[in-house]
């Protein structure tokens, strides 16, 4: 292959730049960037269909106020939100990517524009202005949009809702508002809250916050909005809150208990707890010494920390003894009847699946691209990535159910389904995408299109 110097790239039109490769049978092999009606992201059509049915971006638009003079704008809010969220879903997480993709025929169709007769999509400066014009009130309304979208995703009232909450490090490199140094991460960062429904993986909320251990007031502020919205829709639903020990604050437990919110959260070890559960720990160690192998033991007792104002709460102890030593973990819970082993292994440890949800959001959709100066702009960016999460989740949950991609990570779905090359034919009466005849997932796409035509997707 012949490599081209950077100077040559800047000195000529990119569409006439010829790439040369090794010849085959004395035939010259070259490539040109000269086909405006070819896209590498034809799978965006499925994101468009999912969005059209559940109304994700339309709900966000309804929560915003467009201060621009409508007679002078080229890009409406719904077009900007669709363009940005679809591009994020397809792996273009930076606003700069808008400059390169504004003429792409697949994204133009995805947004709702004719790829031949309508103007190009928005560029990076337009997207940046959008991010910076959003107000705090609008952000609050958009936050409720995601909660309402979550509620609307159920055809009937569920019996149980599990709220899994966890902050995750979002490394910062500039002078962003809210950035703080986190000693555990050894970095300046944000620590945004992620809240998912633990049994299904559905996103409920993402809230930008400083890079520090959460305070009780912050946790309650998020919980009360989620719980009140869910209770309004489903008064009888059982709500369970799960989180690590950073969220086990006396005020948080005192807030949940009178409101009927059950909880199972981590509890930091201390000398009093170690003494309380000493018989359980010693018994497990003796069994390991006698029989070898890995020994697990569980204990349950009532305990009142000094900060709990004398109120006793049930604490579960899990002891794991192996050749590596003794590992003891504690959980505080509002459940008084369930067994200790069940509460530990199935109820509390079930929150481990949340790491996969955060991975899809943060790694698969690159939601840590929060490089704006204003905190409001970064929160809006987080919401844009959350909108992409909802679309990708719905695509996987409802169109790919029962297929080989039914449990795939978002980046795998993108690579195998969305990154689909196509040539676009445009006429007066149709826009036709010509897909590769050798595409290996043809049956899957045919099945997904059949489902779209036959079964309406729930929000």
CA distances from 126 to 43, 79, 94, 340 (A): 25, 12, 13, 55
Q: Is residue 426 helix, strand or coil?
A: strand
Q: Are the C-beta atoms of residues 391 and 50 closer than 8 Å to each other?
A: yes
CA–centroid distance for 37 within its chain:
32
CA distance 209 to 359: 19
User: Tens digit of pLDDT per residue, the chain (459 long)?
Assistant: 444 554 444 445 555 688 999 999 999 998 888 888 999 999 999 999 999 999 999 999 999 999 988 888 999 999 999 999 999 999 999 999 999 999 999 999 999 999 999 999 999 999 999 999 999 999 999 999 999 999 999 999 999 999 999 999 999 998 899 999 999 999 999 999 999 999 999 999 999 999 999 999 999 999 999 999 999 999 999 999 999 999 999 999 999 999 999 999 999 999 999 999 999 999 999 999 998 899 999 999 999 999 998 899 999 999 999 999 999 999 999 999 999 999 999 999 999 999 999 999 999 999 999 999 999 999 999 999 999 999 999 999 999 999 999 999 999 999 999 999 999 999 999 999 999 999 999 999 999 999 888 866 655
Give the bridge partners for 39, in sequence order: 422
Q: Is residue 195 helix, strand or coil?
A: strand
Domain ranges in the chain are: 38-133+373-454, 136-364
CA distances from 455 to 43, 217, 393, 398 (A): 19, 43, 17, 10
CA distance 74 to 56: 22
| Residues in CB range of 33: below 8 A, 6 or more apart | 14, 15, 17
Q: What is the pLDDT of residue 76?
A: 95
Q: What is the pLDDT of residue 457?
A: 61
| Number of other residues whose CB lies within 10 A of the CB of residue 238 | 13
Angle at which helices 124-133 and 77-89 cross, to 10°: 110
The alpha carbon torsion through 419, 384, 126, 140 (nearest 10 deg) reads 170
Q: Are the C-beta atoms of residues 163 and 204 closer than 8 Å to each other?
A: yes
| Structure token pair of residue 365 | 């959709």
Q: What is the pLDDT of residue 456?
A: 65
Half-sphere exposure of 367 (CA within 13 A, CB side): 33
Q: What is the pLDDT of residue 71?
A: 86
For the domain spanning 136-364, the CATH number is 3.90.350.10
Angle at which helices 216-233 and 136-152 cross, to 10°: 50
């Amino acid at each position: 292959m012949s490599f081209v110097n950077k100077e040559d790239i800047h000195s000529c039109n990119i569409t006439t730049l010829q790439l040369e490769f090794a010849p085959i049978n004395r035939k010259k092999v070259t490539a040109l960037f000269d086909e405006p009606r070819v896209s590498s992201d034809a799978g965006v059509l499925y994101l468009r269909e999912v969005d059209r049915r559940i109304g994700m971006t339309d709900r966000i638009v309804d929560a915003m106020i467009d201060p621009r003079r409508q007679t002078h704008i080229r890009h409406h809010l719904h077009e900007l939100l669709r363009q940005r969220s679809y591009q994020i879903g397809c792996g273009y997480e930076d606003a700069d990517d808008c400059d390169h993709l504004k003429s792409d025929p697949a994204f133009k169709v995805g947004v709702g524009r004719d790829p031949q007769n309508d103007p190009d999509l928005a560029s990076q400066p337009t997207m940046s202005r959008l991010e910076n014009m959003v107000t705090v009130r609008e952000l609050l309304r958009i936050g409720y949009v995601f909660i309402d979208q979550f509620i609307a995703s159920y055809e009937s009232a569920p019996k149980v809702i599990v709220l899994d909450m966890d902050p995750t490090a979002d490394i910062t490199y500039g002078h962003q508002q809210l950035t703080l140094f986190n000693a555990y991460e050894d970095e300046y960062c944000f620590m945004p809250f992620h809240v998912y429904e633990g049994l299904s993986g559905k996103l409920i909320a993402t809230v930008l916050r400083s890079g520090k251990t959460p305070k009780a007031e912050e946790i309650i502020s998020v919980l009360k909005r989620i719980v009140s919205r869910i209770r309004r829709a489903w008064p009888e639903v059982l709500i369970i809150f799960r989180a690590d020990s950073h969220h086990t604050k006396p005020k948080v437990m005192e807030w949940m208990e009178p409101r009927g919110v059950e909880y199972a959260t981590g509890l930091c070890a201390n000398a009093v707890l170690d003494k309380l559960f000493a018989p359980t720990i010693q018994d497990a160690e003796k069994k390991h010494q006698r029989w070898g192998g890995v020994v697990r033991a569980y204990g349950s007792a009532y305990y009142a920390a000094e900060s709990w104002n004398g109120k006793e709460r049930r604490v579960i102890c899990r002891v794991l003894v192996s050749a590596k030593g003794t590992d003891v973990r504690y959980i505080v819970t509002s459940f008084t009847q369930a067994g200790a082993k069940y509460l530990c292994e199935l109820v509390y440890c079930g929150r481990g699946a949340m790491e996969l949800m955060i991975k899809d959001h943060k790694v698969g959709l690159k939601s840590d691209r929060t490089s704006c100066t204003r905190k409001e702009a970064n929160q809006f960016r987080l919401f844009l990535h959350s909108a992409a999460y909802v679309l990708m989740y719905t695509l996987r949950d409802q169109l790919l159910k029962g297929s080989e991609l039914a449990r795939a990570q978002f980046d795998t779905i993108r690579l195998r389904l969305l990154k689909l090359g196509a040539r676009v034919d445009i006429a007066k009466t149709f826009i036709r995408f010509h897909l590769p005849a050798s595409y290996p997932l043809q049956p899957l796409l045919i099945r997904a299109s059949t489902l779209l035509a036959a079964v309406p997707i729930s929000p």
